[in-house]
Amino acid sequence: MVLGVPFVCFAAALMTDIAYARTFDIGWKNFSDWLLAGGMVVGALAAIVGLVDLARRSVRADWLIWPYAAAYAVAMILGLFDNLVHSRDAYGAMPAGLVLSALTVLALLVTAVLGALLMRRSSRGIAR
Amino acid sequence: MKRAVLLLAGASLALAGCARKGVDPDRQIGPDPWLPTISQYLVPPMHVVAPSPWGSATPSVPADLKVQAFATGLAHPRSLYTLPDGDVLVVETDGPPEPIHRPKDIVMQLIQAHGHGDAKAGMDIILLRDADGDGVPELRTRFLSGLKSPFGVALVGSDLYVANTDAIVRCPYQPGQTRITAPGVKLVDLPGGPIDHHYTKSLVASPDGSKLYVGVGSNSNITENGMDAERGRAAIWEVDRVTGAHRLYGTGLRNPNGLQFEPQTHVLWTVVNERDELGPDLVPDYLTSVRDGGFYGWPYSYWGRHVDPRVRPQRPDLVAKAIVPDYSLSSHVAPLGMVFSTAAAALPPRWRSGAFVGEHGSWNRGHLNGYKVVYVPFANGRPAGKAIDVVTGFVSGDKARGRPVGLGLDRTGALLIADDLGNTVWRVSAR
């Protein structure tokens, strides 16, 4: 599943954000910055694959594809803002960065649930 | 949570571009600058100008002064020192490559590279001899070679001290000498790599010659490389010239350069580069006297007790002790050189009782600031009055032809300016 990599990256960034906010150890923030950048790059590539998929009528057959795509778009927008907020130095990225990481993971969880429902309803999953 | 959302909304508005250019810098010149509230951004305001050669152009000066090139074709000259016999030392230098710790480092290096010249910097000290004082040196030699990001130079008796980025070395020197081949002896290690964010180690000897004072800049903008990387940094060290024993003389000085003793009061003064990314009008860079044991705020606070929220854990105990600097030069001007003008005999009298400051110029605000040399008038050993632009014209259109760094006075008392982008030393004298 294409969403696996960004999900792992953003979820791990949430963990390292929590670790930074609790310890103020800058190493955790550097981990967050790289994880968020990695999640964003792979996530954007996945979004391109998804958009190409959406061009196929068979993929659009199930209306559930639209909330699925919307949830993923929201996750990517949150992720982009999260990356920008994390570009601030030291604790300047907090607490907004931690909140954005949590919201991004939440949006990706919603995407995953909708994706799983889509898979169950269709014999041809859209997110390969 | 609600606060975070508000912060984010505020940042988005800021991104839309209403308050990114910055106010008239004049509001921040002097002992009591206007200070706005902090703005943090999704993308901070940035304005980096591309370089363009001087050609036949020169900087601009007021009507009672003239400016000429004292030396051209140098390799990133950043600092100047005039020996007692009148020979001028030009330090060619650049910082070591910066390690990449975060994705941001990659982006920032690309952006900053846009504003730098392509020419490779020297790691040498060049000697210029203008024996007849006409502003055209007759002799140019490679005085010292193979240094490691050198910046400060100080001569005491026959001992010449050079502040490399990682150590002060001592070399024997005799008047008239045009080249030093004797290996230097290390006096003391200074905080250098592996991270060496602010690498310039400004150097001055005490008036009695017993001590050396060294500016050691911070290793980050605002602790983003961790507090371990800041040991011994953002400080002025006092080093015993004989033993090399050192102590921290002043602290909380983010990037102190242009260390000089005020000639009338023999008090140590410095110019300081303050922190970035709090908005186009924060934080003002400044000129200040340095008190023994004084703490000037960095990283915990700025301009006295204004707390910087980006630093954790916070230190209210230190913030309570933070000294307000003497004189604001306005935000992001990047002062890197300073010289008192009492001995500037080649300038008209109105320029002879103050300090010249070399401002390398801003990147972190929409409207450029700095890129000039200013004169701060002094009375009784303290700043007295508004800073006056002296040497301007370093930026033309949206191209930078030069950027001033270190300053000095030549044998005749003319003002010298190291221009690290134009690879020139400029000489300013009476018309």
CATH of domain B2-15+29-430: 2.120.10.30
Tell me the mean pLDDT in the region A59-67: 90
Between chains, do B225 and A25 touch, taking CB under 8 Å as contact? no
Compute φ and ψ for A33, nearest 5 degrees: -60, -45
What chain B residue is nearest to A93 in terms of C-alpha separation?
A: B310
pLDDT of B7 above 70: no
Q: Tens digit of pLDDT for each residue in B74-108? A: 999 999 999 999 999 999 999 999 899 999 999 99
Tokens 């103020």 correspond to: A24
User: How many residue pairs from chains A and B have C-beta atoms closer than 8 A?
Assistant: 73
pLDDT at A59: 83
Share of chain A above pLDDT 90, in %: 79
Q: Which residues of chain A neighbour B274 with C-beta distances below 8 Å?
A: none
Share of chain B above pLDDT 90, in %: 90
The string of DSSP letters for B260-273 reads EE-TTT--EEEEE-
**CA atoms of B16 and B10, how far apart (whole Å):** 10
Q: Tens digit of pLDDT for each residue in B314-353? A: 999 999 999 999 999 999 999 999 999 999 999 999 999 9
Length of chain A: 128
More confidently predicted of A127 and B177 = B177
How far does A76 lie from chain B, in Å, by closest CA? 16
* Domain range list for chain B: 2-15+29-430
A22 touches chain B (CB under 8 A): no
Q: Are B311 and A89 in contact (CB under 8 A)?
A: no
Tell me, rounded to whole angstroms, the distance of Cα B362 from its chain centroid: 12
Environment class of B187 (CB within 10 Å of its CB; exposed 0-12, middle 13-18, buried 19+): buried
pLDDT band, residue A123 (cuts 50/70/90):
low
* Residues facing B409 on adjacent strands: B415
pLDDT band, residue B292 (cuts 50/70/90):
very high
Between chains, do A99 and B11 touch, taking CB under 8 Å as contact? no
Listed residue (B258, B281, B278, B280) closest to B268, CA to CA:
B258
pLDDT of A127 above 50: no
**B residues 330-389 lying closer than 8 A (beta carbon) to A:** none
Q: Are B395 and B371 in contact (CB under 8 A)?
A: yes
pLDDT of A98 above 80: yes
Share of chain B above pLDDT 70, in %: 96
pLDDT of B9 above 50: no
Compute φ and ψ for B7, nearest 5 degrees: -55, -45
pLDDT of B15 above 70: no
Q: Which residues of chain A neighbour B103 with C-beta distances below 8 Å?
A: 33-34, 37, 83, 87
Q: Tens digit of pLDDT for each residue in B379-410? A: 999 999 999 999 999 999 889 999 999 999 99
What mean pLDDT is reported for chain B? 94
Q: Tens digit of pLDDT for each residue in B21-52? A: 999 999 999 999 999 999 999 999 999 999 99
**CA atoms of B183 and B144, how far apart (whole Å):** 10
Tell me the mean pLDDT in the region B111-138: 91
Q: Are B430 and B347 in contact (CB under 8 A)?
A: yes
Q: Are B407 and B358 in contact (CB under 8 A)?
A: yes
**B residues 43-62 lying closer than 8 A (beta carbon) to A:** 43
pLDDT band, residue B183 (cuts 50/70/90):
confident
Residue B55 CB partners (closer than 8 Å, separation 6+): none
pLDDT band, residue B13 (cuts 50/70/90):
very low
Between chains, do B4 and A99 touch, taking CB under 8 Å as contact? yes
Q: What is the ipTM of this complex?
A: 0.90
